[in-house]
Amino acid sequence: MSASTVNPVGSRGPARDPRVAAMLSRRRQRRNMVAAGLCMAATTVGLALLALILATLLWLGAGGVHWSVFAHSTRPPGSGGGLLNAIVGSLIQTGLGTVIGTPIGLLVGTYLSEYAGNSRLGGAVRFVSDVLLSAPSILIGLFVYAVLVNPFNGFSGIAGSVALAVIVIPIVVRTTEDMLRLIPVSLREAAVALGAPKWKSIVFVCYRAALDGIATGVLLAIARVAGETAPLLFTSLGNLNWSTSLTQPMASLPVTIYQYAGSAFDDWVQLAWVGALLITFGVLALNILARVVLRPRV
């Protein structure tokens, strides 16, 4: 923090001439105004983009929302049809992925916060979990394809759920560890002083105290995987027929949007916009809900 950068007057020393001083001050103020204006513009651009995306979805998607979308499965172009199988498939896979991923993530977060301390192994787990958090989801799809789809002869809903679970885990790990670390040591000491073994003090005292934070993590994880497309392409594949069998290929909203948006049929493209509208507002609603849940803590 050298003086020359803090003081734009530089090595010439303080401007004793009041006119020079005023000029310099004006120049600095002007520069400040320009920077502030540009930053404001950047923020406006960011907000405008969000508004533009939501407006596009409403404009092109809302017109197609009709009871038949929720009543019928996907059908060949020109014969009506809806998104029921895709919606149900998405709910099943997202739900199952969350159910598989959450306990694992919770335990990993507990391990990092309560057991690993500053050990090297704990550091490695934390680092790997953070890398998985940002790793390209398409690679997780390829991994599950290689492990579950290829050897067991077929795309399946369960493979899709596992791929989503792998995405859920690091999100839950991050929030669980952060939330458990916020809990004061005195609370743990109080539990131990009452004679509770460590696991009881974690499960009945720490988890309960961190519940809203952990719930936030789970909600964010659900919101994240509900819109995932790439990993499902290689695992549950998508299915144009009604199917809730976990061992068969399963439809999902994002994959159906992908297939329909690129098609040449107007009614399919329309359905894709409806699907996009549903999934976006669902995901954003979950995000806002998660923030409301966390709010008292921040």
Partner 1 sequence: MDDPTVSSTAAPPLTGARKMPLRRAGSGAVGDRVFAALAYAAGMLVLVLLGGIILSLLIGGLPAFRAFGPHFLVDANWDPVQQQYGAAVPIYGTLITSVLALLIAVPLAFGIAFWLTELAPAWLRRPVGTAVELLAAVPSIIYGMWGFFMIVPFMSSYVQPFVIDGLADVPVLSDLFQGPPFGTGIATAALILAVMVIPFIAATMRDVFQTVPAVFKESAYGVGCTTWEVMRSIVIPYTRVSVMGGIMLGLGRALGETMAVTFVIGNTNRISPSLFGPGNTIASLVALEFPESPAGSLKLASLLALGFILFVISFIVLAISRLLLRPRAGA
Give φ, ψ of 254 to 5 degrees.
Answer: -60, -40
Q: What is the nearest approach in angstroms of partner 1 to the Cβ of residue 61?
A: 10
Neighbours of 250 (CB within 10 A): 30
Distances from the Cα of 65 to the Cαs of 57, 61, 71, 257, 278, in angstroms? Answer: 12, 7, 11, 15, 9
Contact region with partner 1 (CB under 8 A), list: 48-56, 74-82, 84-92, 205-213: 48-56
Q: Which of 15, 77, 95, 111 binds partner 1 (CB under 8 A)?
A: 111
Q: Which of 18, 134, 185, 186 binds partner 1 (CB under 8 A)?
A: 134
Q: Which of 143, 246, 248, 263 binds partner 1 (CB under 8 A)?
A: 143
Q: Is 98 in the site for partner 1 (CB under 8 A)?
A: no
Q: What region does 237 belong to: left with phi over 0, alpha with psi -120 to 50, or beta?
A: left
Q: Is 107 in the site for partner 1 (CB under 8 A)?
A: yes
Q: What is the nearest approach in angstroms of partner 1 to the Cβ of residue 4?
A: 10
| Six-digit token string for 27 | 């120049």
Q: Is 147 in the site for partner 1 (CB under 8 A)?
A: yes
H or E segment to which residue 68 belongs: helix 67-71
Longest dimension (CA), the chain: 85
In the range 62-91, which residues lie near partner 1 by CB under 8 A? none
Neighbours of 191 (CB within 10 A): 18
In the range 161-200, which residues lie near partner 1 by CB under 8 A? 166, 169-170, 173, 195-200
Residue nearer to partner 1 on the CB measure, 71 or 193? 193
Contact 101, 169 (CB under 8 A): yes
The span from the CA of 185 to the CA of 89, in Å, is 44
Q: Which of 23, 115, 244, 245 binds partner 1 (CB under 8 A)?
A: 115
Site string for partner 1, 257-276 (x = CB under 8 A): xx--xx---------xx--x
In the range 216-245, which residues lie near partner 1 by CB under 8 A? 223-224, 226-230, 233-234
Per-residue b/e over 63-76, b at no fewer than 16 CB within 10 Å? Answer: ebeeeebeebbbbe
DSSP state of 9: T
Q: Which of 87, 112, 191, 214 binds partner 1 (CB under 8 A)?
A: 112
Q: What is the nearest approach in angstroms of partner 1 to the Cβ of residue 197?
A: 3
